Homo-oligomer: A and B are copies of this chain.
Amino acid sequence: MRIEGSTNADAHSVSAELKRKILGGEFQYDERLPAERSIAEQFGCSRGTVRAAMERLEDLKLIERRIGSGTFVRHKLTANETDIANSTSPLELIEVRRGLEVQAIRLAVVNASARNLQAVEKNLIELEALGSRCEPEDFSKADQAFHLSLAECSGNSLMIWLCNHVNDVRCHRQWSAMKDKILTQRQIALYNKQHRAIFEALNSRDINAAEKETIAHLQLAKDDLLGAT
């Protein structure tokens, strides 16, 4: 298990995270990245590990490094990254999730194994442990993990695949820009209540309650989205 921030990270996860931040626009073009030693401290790993990750990104032509100066973003995307993700608005995303995840929870109630439920509960507990004062970024990640573990319960490969890819969209720019506005302490607390309710319904195999709670959850997310624009 890779847990961000709190524990050590290997070269793969470091490069993946940096890549995500660059492609997601968190690090703008031509911007200088933090120093290697600084990133190492931030990830809780050694400088050598960070350098290994950097070499990967350099091979991908995502960054350029200059001795004594720093590391700079030099990405040339457009071709590969102009996928559906970037042209999808957060509102469109919620509408699709409402279709997919409501059906997923219905299947989950029927098909979830004991192990599936344990995984969901684990993610739920981690999510709740973050508390309502956590960083929106951290909450968003844990929230995504929770919802994906719900999809897992469906036992339907196609459903899982779709939920995974649809949730990837959340990492992109338009959504990132709104996270800070929407994910206030108050809303996080509300969301967590709903997460708990969804899990309880699923755990007791109550299909109607599970569906109702999931719809309520996505409806709230949609309302928050509309309120923030």
Contacts and interface: CB of A to CB of B under 8 A. Distances in A.
A92 B88 CA distance: 26
A158 B20 contact: no
Interface stretch (A46-54, A93-101, A132-140, A181-189): A93-101
B1 A38 contact: yes
Interface residues of A, number: 57
A115 B5 CA distance: 10
19 contacts: A12-B31, A17-B115, A20-B155, A23-B160, A23-B161, A24-B151, A26-B152, A26-B164, A84-B158, A87-B157, A88-B158, A92-B158, A92-B159, A95-B154, A98-B103, A99-B100, A100-B100, A158-B166, A162-B162
Given A16-B31, A88-B157, 18 more contacts: A1-B38, A10-B32, A12-B31, A13-B115, A20-B152, A20-B155, A21-B152, A23-B157, A24-B157, A84-B157, A88-B158, A92-B157, A95-B103, A95-B159, A98-B103, A99-B101, A99-B159, A162-B166
Interface of A: 1-2, 4, 6, 9-10, 12-13, 16-17, 20-21, 23-26, 31-32, 34, 38, 42-43, 81, 84, 87-88, 92-93, 95-96, 98-104, 107, 113-115, 148, 151-152, 154-162, 164-166, 169
